[in-house]
Structure 1
Amino acid sequence: MMKLGFDGKVALVTGAGSGIGAAVSRQLAEEGAEVVVADLNGDAAQTVAAEIRSLGGQAQHIAVDVSDPDAVERLVQFVIDRCGALHLAVNNAGTDGVRKATADYPLDEWHKLLNVNLNGVFYCMKHEIAAMVQNGGGSIVNMSSILGCVGLPTASAYTAAKHGVVGLTKVAAIEYARMGVRINAVGPGWIETPLLLDHSDTVSTRRMVALQPMARRGTPQEVSALVCFLLSEQASFISGSYHLVDGAYTAH
């Protein structure tokens, strides 16, 4: 197994209380990083951090609402105060929102979803990048989706936010490339996470999964493998790009 070389690195993962975020946190810790496990659900974050420590890894936890810019600023300061620096970040926190056709989409739900899935990524990047520049560089992975490049009926807010995450990633990668900060986006497809399982019985979800060429859903660990590679120095010339983990779904 290729070693990714995270010894001595400090990593922040948002939305890390379950699913992909939890898988990424575990793998980062296994590879030697000290991980700050952040989630809106503080109890879930605590559980993941405790599991990592029980296996010999280094982890701390914190509850955070990434849609609150002040809370995000405090989050990054927490990482620096507790761990001394920030080298790696995975902006994974997100929500899926209601399923409505565009003209029927409730305004309050639109703003709520974009505040988490797009604004939250921006808030995190704003403070993470500043910390990494001071530290001489770092690496960020933003969690987009297959809906960062294709559409899904009744998911206008989610699709708009995930397209926006890809755009933010590209711009920031250009801006900070010469300062040693690499920034990439990952687009998971139909992955076995709480978000998908919550909608597993909806007609649109059943149709989309049925179109999956590999005839199965992906796992959080399969997404984590790519995320951790992109964070590592093995990917030292990869920045500003958007990588799909979708079992050929978007190849249709």
Structure 2
Amino acid sequence: MADHTRLFDLTGRSALVTGAAGGIGSAVAEAYAAAGATVLVTDVDGDAAASVAQRLRAAGGKADSAALDVRDRTAADAAVAQAAAHTDGTLHILVNNAGVTAPAMFADLEADSVRRLLDIHLMGAFHCAQAAVSALATDGTGRIINVTSSAGITGTLGQVNYSAAKAGIIGLTKSLARELARKNVLVNALAPLAATSMTETIRTDEKFAKTMLARIPLRRWAEPAEIAGAFVFLASDAASFITGQVLPVDGGMVM
């Protein structure tokens, strides 16, 4: 009988995770390291990224770190080269997770806020994906996993800037999946919902929290570690015939 648990083994593969200094990003980096991958932990806060990488090494994983502002294409090129150097110049997994929020009702929304979120979320994913394309494995193990949100699928009150950026990532994912299929590279997106610093404002406001929980069939927020397994799945051989998809990991909020 085949050992299907090995489907999730990432030993010998390299991964680059953006926005990995905390929240979902650090949980994903930890899960990849636990699955055997060599992980480059990146974040605009280089010191925080280095702390996460040190923690992964202390736990027996393989990891290093780099400061990365995903708006900087030159920095993205350098990060891809650093991650790929761990596996003879080949990158296996890119996770575009870096992001911020700046809530405001549409009438009060400033153009600069829209540009900033588009630059970080959408253009950041574009820069890192384009930097990675020539280094990604073409043997079926090459993966790009983008992070979107339910906001990009259904929209959300007071976050036109964030929703637009996350919807753009869905379009990027689907189009890129079609293009890179010829290279045997899989491109998918996850739409997670977890208790992180980005959702703290909603979770700690009694009115917002009650409304939000009412929309989640499981009636709770996930911890970041609960989300990380879906990233391992999409990076693994278990997802070898999945591309161009958006997987909500949100307790059933988006069905």
Q: Distance in 2 between the 1:9 and 1:174 partners?
A: 23
| Contact 1:86/1:135, CA 8 A, preserved across alignment | no
The amino acid that maps onto 2:105 is A
Aligned residue in 2 for 1:90:
95
2:134 is equivalent to residue 130 of structure 1: yes
- Equivalents in 2 of 1:140, 1:208: separation in Å? 30
Once the two structures are TM-superposed, the CA of residue 237 in structure 1 deviates from its matched residue by 0.3
2:216 counterpart residue number: 212
What TM-score do the two structures reach when normalised by structure 2?
0.92
User: 1:21, CA displacement in angstroms?
Assistant: 0.8
Q: Which structure 1 residue ranges, 5 or more long, are not aligned? A: none
- Within the candidate set 195, 216, 219, 2:198 is matched to 195
CA shift at 1:166, angstroms?
0.7
1:90 partner amino acid = V
Aligned to 2:106: 102
**What do the CA deviations read for 1:56-85 (whole angstroms, capped 9, x no partner)?**
110000011001222212221222345532
Alignment partner, residue 172 of structure 2: 168
Q: What is the aligned partner in structure 1 of residue 237 from structure 2? A: 233
Helix, strand or coil for the counterpart of 1:250? coil
Q: Could you report, residue by residue, the CA deviation over 1:8-54 in whole angstroms, capped at 9, with x for unpaired residues?
A: 10111111111111111111111111000001111111111011111
CA distance, structure 2, for counterparts of residue 5 and residue 250 of structure 1: 29
Aligned-residue offset at 1:135: 7.6
Letter in 1 for 2:81: Q
Q: Which of 156, 159, 174 is the equivalent residue of 1:155?
A: 159
Secondary structure of the residue aligned to 2:230 is helix
Q: Alpha carbons of 1:146 and 1:136: their partners in 2 closer, same or farther (altered >3 Å)?
A: closer
Q: Given residue 195 of structure 2, which amino acid in structure 1 is its aligned partner?
A: E
Alpha-carbon distance between aligned partners in 1 of 2:141 and 2:219, rounded to the nearest angstrom: 40
Structure 1 counterpart SS, 2:5 = coil
Amino acid at match of 2:50: Q
SS in 2 for 1:200: helix
Amino acid at match of 1:2: T
Q: 1:73 aligns with which of 62, 68, 77?
A: 77
Is 1:36–1:62's contact at 8 Å kept on the other side of the alignment?
yes
CA contact (8 A) 2:10 2:32 kept: yes
The structure 1 segments of at least 4 consecutive aligned residues displaced by more than 6 Å after TM superposition are none
- Distance change (3 Å), C-alpha of 1:61 and 1:6: same
Work out the CA distance in 2 between the residues paired with 1:137 and 1:6.
9
Q: Which residue of the partner structure matches residue 25 of structure 2?
A: 21
TM-score by length of 1: 0.93
Task: Give the drift of 1:198.
Answer: 4.2
Aligned-residue identity in percent: 37
**Counterpart in 2 of 1:2?**
5
Deviates more, 1:227-236 or 1:207-216: 207-216
Gaps of 5+ in 2: none
Distance 1:105 1:45 in 2: 31
Secondary structure of the equivalent of 1:25? helix
For 1:110 and 1:228, the matched residues in 2 are separated by 31
Query: For 2:185 and 2:21, how far apart are their aligned partners in 1?
Result: 26
